[in-house]
Amino acid sequence: MIKLFKVKEKQRELAENANGKTPVKKQSAGELRLHKDISELNLPKSCTISFPNGKDDLMNFEVTIRPDEGYYLGGTFLFSFQVSPIYPHEAPKVKCKTKVYHPNIDLEGNVCLNILREDWKPVLNINTIIYGLFHLFTEPNYEDPLNHDAAAVLRDNPKLFESNVRRAMSGGFKGCRVLFGHEFFRMWRPSGRCLGRCLYAV
Produce one character per residue of 49-69: b if its CB has 16 or more CB atoms within 10 Å, e if not: eeeeeeeeebbebbbebbbee
Query: How many CB atoms sit inside 10 A of residue 114's CB?
Result: 11
**141 CB neighbour count, 10 Å cutoff:** 16
Q: Is 176 a catalytic residue?
A: no
Task: Give the Cα separation of 85 and 158 in Å (integer).
Answer: 42
Q: In 3-state terms, the chain is what percent helix, strand and coil (to 5)?
A: 30, 20, 50
User: Of the residues 112, 176, 194, 198, which is catalytic?
Assistant: 112
**Sheet with 183-187: strands ordered across:** 183-187, 176-180, 197-201
> For the chain, where are the alpha helices, taking DSSP H only?
2-18, 29-39, 126-138, 148-156, 158-169
CB contact at 8 A, 28 and 12: no
Question: Which residues form the catalytic set?
Answer: 112
